[in-house]
Chain A
Amino acid sequence: MGERLGGGQVDVSATAVESRASYWRSFALPGVAWLVLFVVVPAYAVLAIAFGRVNFLFQPVPYWNPLHWNPGYVSKAFSGSLPGGEYWPSIRNTLVYVGVSLSLCFAIGYPVAYYVARHAKRTKTLLIVLLVIPFWVSYLLRMLAWIGLLSPDGYVNQILQWIGISHPPDWLNGNPYSVIMALLYGYIPYFILPVFAGLDRIDKSQIEAARDLGATPFRAFLHVTLPLSKASIMAGAALVVLPMFGDYYTNDLISASPHTNMLGNEINLFVQGGSQKNLGAALVLVLMAILAVGMAYYLYATLRDQRRLA
């Protein structure tokens, strides 16, 4: 409450400030306790399982003491995740599918968000409503919709046959293009909304200033609008990429084939399917390691931009 001190209340003693700090801290306490219990402790439990062993019934036994940790599963998971390893196909699929879906999110989502934020006039409210609707429609329903459309006698194949393609591909059994399309379809609303909000917040006078100084509309876009929307693009990309990396259900629903397995599918199979929970937990660590690299770049880029502005 530093503002209060500045606001003329000079007589506020240090103890009052101190007690007020503990007053607000007590508000945070239940939530923080919840997060410690159900986020921090479970995260450590994953480590304990990944570095643990199995008992004679092949049930996982967590090792809580780091001094007793068994590195076997973790080293197996990490070495298997390198090119040529056992899990490399899934890692490669994950990176390729997420990369392509993210690029398409940007290629499709940015122009849409840009149009709605900067050019739509009378239709703007309607467009916002239409952009928000997928957000409120269950992800599972949206996947269900594509299962119907892509099934052998579905509308997609009917249209293809009508065009003259008599042997349409098998969409729903191990087709990577369907999986990428489904990921794109499922997650693009989460990209468009923050980018739209970011573009909508841009002060138009800045673009007008660029134009008044002689920039062509394209240069004004390139040097003013695009850099100003960069933070929201990064936010949208993070919102899309993080869930995609852990996704297994899109793949299960649209492909249901080991050929298109992603990292999430491997984890799910090990943890829920068989008795290899230790390996599943070790693969969770692989997933977090990949995301940590991405997150480090994200933080580095954000800090660099902030420093450049300052």
Chain B
Amino acid sequence: MSVAEREPATEGTAIVPASGSRRNLIPRRLRNPWGEPRFLVAGTWIYIAWALVPVVIAILFSFNAGRSRSVWQGFSIKWWWGDPNLSIFHDSDYTHALVHSLLLAGLDMVIATPLGVLLALGLTRWRGRGSGVANSLMLIPLVTPEIVMAVSLLVVFTQLALVPFSLIHLGTTAQVVGQVTFSLSYVVIIVRSRLAGIGGQYEEAARDLGATPIQALRLVLIPLLLPAILASMLIVFALSIDDFVVTQYMSSNSTTTTIPMYLYSNARGGTSTPALNALATILVVVTLVGVTVAYLLYTIVGKRTGSAGTGASALRELSGIEAA
């Protein structure tokens, strides 16, 4: 990148002689700690190793032959399959947690995505009294620590004897409501940044050609928004399946335990086996399957509408980097 920044610009054309002569006093190597990327290259790779190697080790330990989660005792798949009692697929605690995690993620996705897309459309287009308040309302879940949301939802669901709150009991319903509440804003942010990129002209063209507002929305805007909708579905899925705080506060008993909750309560116990690592690995596999499916759909949609990038840019959009 930017040759100009890294290498001193062609020495002969240095306009300011003072800076040119000063430059010669410093050894070329030390002139610019940022321009010389060697430190940065090493630092970046060390960071990446530090970020990923522990995860890889934790995943490998799910294949440990012994009971230890910290000392390697040979390779085995018994914690995954094989052992009739201790393998994750033979222990109902584990399978139940997995099924419940997937159920919550699915429900969260189905509710939060349409609600968020509509809210994003409304907030972008609606100019008038109340729209400012609605906008800041949407931002509240993003700037509130999760424990605050969890405590406040727990309070209304257990203390407020008023319809709709008295109808929502701790357990699956409360967990879904809590998860939708914090994932809604992510959908809005992603869809809204996409809407800003599309602009109003396509819709206007459709309207000028005689489409009703609903038709313009259905036939023009929604197809253009599909990549963003996909990205938000993926983010909601990942947020839900990885969520711990709200899901734990909203849970009722062992039947509403999710994988993160199970990991939390057993991670430090001396009795837990590498099956716990296997369970955590499943969480990662499920998320990565989600990412892959979303990526494939994204590229298909992108090719059809010509509105989405591929490769790295697709990945960046799917991770919500562009919306950040």
Which positions in A face B, CB cutoff 8 Å? 1-4, 7, 20-21, 23-32, 34-43, 45-46, 48-49, 60, 62, 108, 111-112, 114-116, 118-121, 124-125, 127-149, 151, 153-155, 172, 185, 188-189, 193-194, 196-197, 204, 207-208, 211-218, 220-221, 232, 235, 238-239, 242-243, 245-249, 252-253, 256, 264, 267-268, 271-272, 277, 280-281, 284, 287-288, 291, 295
* Residues of A with C-beta under 8 A to B155: 42, 45-46, 48-49, 62, 277, 281
A141, B55: Cβ atoms closer than 8 Å: yes
Q: Complex: how many Å from CA A30 to CA B111?
A: 11
A28, B287: Cβ atoms closer than 8 Å: no
B140, A211: Cβ atoms closer than 8 Å: no
* Residues of A with C-beta under 8 A to B70: 148-149, 151, 153-155
B287, A145: Cβ atoms closer than 8 Å: no
Q: Complex: how many Å from CA A208 to CA B6?
A: 10
Kindly state whether residue B118 has any CB partner on chain A within 8 Å: yes
A4, B122: Cβ atoms closer than 8 Å: no
**Known contacts A39-B141, A242-B144, A281 near B151 by CB under 8 Å:** yes
Which of B40, B138, B145, B259 has the most chain A CB within a 10 Å cutoff?
B145
Q: Which of A115, A146, A291 contacts B37 (CB 8 A)?
A: A115
24 contacts between A and B (CB under 8 A): A1-B200, A24-B126, A28-B123, A31-B119, A35-B138, A39-B181, A48-B155, A125-B311, A130-B48, A132-B316, A132-B319, A136-B288, A137-B284, A138-B284, A138-B287, A185-B54, A193-B319, A193-B324, A214-B19, A218-B33, A235-B324, A248-B147, A271-B151, A288-B148
Smallest distance from the beta carbon of A210 to chain B beta carbons, Å? 9
B43, A112: Cβ atoms closer than 8 Å: yes
Q: Complex: how many Å from CA A34 to CA B249?
A: 19
**Chain A: which residue is nearest B263 at the CB level?**
A140
Q: Which of A127, A188, A211, A271 contacts B9 (CB 8 A)?
A: A211
Given A34-B184, A130-B52, A148-B61; 5 other pairs, CB 8 A cutoff: A132-B319, A134-B55, A216-B31, A217-B6, A272-B249
* Residues of B with C-beta under 8 A to A3: 200, 204
B188, A31: Cβ atoms closer than 8 Å: yes
B181, A140: Cβ atoms closer than 8 Å: no
Q: Complex: how many Å from CA A133 to CA B153?
A: 31
Q: Complex: how many Å from CA A38 to CA B152?
A: 9
Smallest distance from the beta carbon of A255 to chain B beta carbons, Å? 10
* Residues of A with C-beta under 8 A to B232: none
* Residues of A with C-beta under 8 A to B144: 242, 288
B143, A4: Cβ atoms closer than 8 Å: no
Q: Which of B6, B149, B267 contacts A253 (CB 8 A)?
A: B267
A111, B118: Cβ atoms closer than 8 Å: no
B151, A194: Cβ atoms closer than 8 Å: no
Q: Complex: how many Å from CA A42 to CA B149?
A: 8
Q: Complex: how many Å from CA A221 to CA B115?
A: 43
Q: Which of A41, A204, A214, A216 contacts B32 (CB 8 A)?
A: A216
Q: Which of A34, A207, A256 contacts B268 (CB 8 A)?
A: A256
**Known contacts A125-B312, A134-B51, A141 near B145 by CB under 8 Å:** no
**Known contacts A32-B137, A235-B324, A213 near B2 by CB under 8 Å:** no
Smallest distance from the beta carbon of B113 to chain A beta carbons, Å? 11
The stretch that binds A, out of B82-90, B222-230, B238-246, B297-305, is B238-246
**Chain B: which residue is nearest A253 at the CB level?**
B267
* Residues of B with C-beta under 8 A to A129: 312, 315
Kindly state whether residue B99 has any CB partner on chain A within 8 Å: no
Q: Complex: how many Å from CA A82 to CA B16?
A: 56
**5 A-B pairs with the lowest CB-CB distances in the bound complex, closest first:** A246-B145, A28-B122, A31-B119, A27-B122, A42-B152
A243, B16: Cβ atoms closer than 8 Å: no
Q: Complex: how many Å from CA A19 to CA B58?
A: 58
Q: Complex: how many Å from CA A37 to CA B283?
A: 31
**Known contacts A138-B284, A144-B276, A31 near B115 by CB under 8 Å:** yes
Interface string of B11-52 (1 = CB under 8 A from A): 000111001000100000001111101011101100110111
Q: Complex: how many Å from CA A188 to CA B47?
A: 10
Q: Which of B34, B47, B71, B238 contacts A153 (CB 8 A)?
A: B71
* Residues of A with C-beta under 8 A to B77: none
Kindly state whether residue B75 has any CB partner on chain A within 8 Å: no
**Known contacts A62-B155, A111-B43, A151-B70, A291 near B5 by CB under 8 Å:** no
A246, B238: Cβ atoms closer than 8 Å: no
**Known contacts A193-B319, A193-B321, A218 near B32 by CB under 8 Å:** yes
